[in-house]
Copies of this chain bind each other. A is one copy, B any other.
Amino acid sequence: MKKVKIYITLKEGVLDPQGKAVQTSLNTLGFNEVQEARVGKYMELLVEDNADVEAKIEEMCSKLLANPVIEDYSYTIEEGILQ
């Protein structure tokens, strides 16, 4: 088993109203040192061992998990997870 951690973020320049709301809320709560907030998605997948996990993950991200028009993604693969 491999554990794959996927990080999906909005591309630079794409408006992020959810991030803006988080920033405003933090400022309202008194955390005035927060200058910017951007919100993305984080996913953990448990994937069977397979020769080409990386290619598969690329395909999953571009086909389903991220919207390549407005989002970037990155991932890390952890080997040898016992299940």
Q: How far is A8 from B26 in the complex, measured between Cα atoms in Å? A: 16
Name the one of B36, B43, B60 contacting A40, with C-beta atoms under 8 angstroms: B43
Interface string of A14-47 (1 = CB under 8 A from B): 0000010011011001010111111111111111
Identical subunits present: 2
Q: How far is A53 from B26 in the complex, measured between Cα atoms in Å? A: 14
Q: How far is A65 from B59 in the complex, measured between Cα atoms in Å? A: 31
Chain A interface size, under 10 / 10 to 19 / 20 to 34 / 35 or more? 35 or more
Q: How far is A39 from B56 in the complex, measured between Cα atoms in Å? A: 18
Contacts of A65 in B (CB 8 A): 22
Q: Are B25 and A47 in contact (CB under 8 A)?
A: no
Q: Are B38 and A34 in contact (CB under 8 A)?
A: no
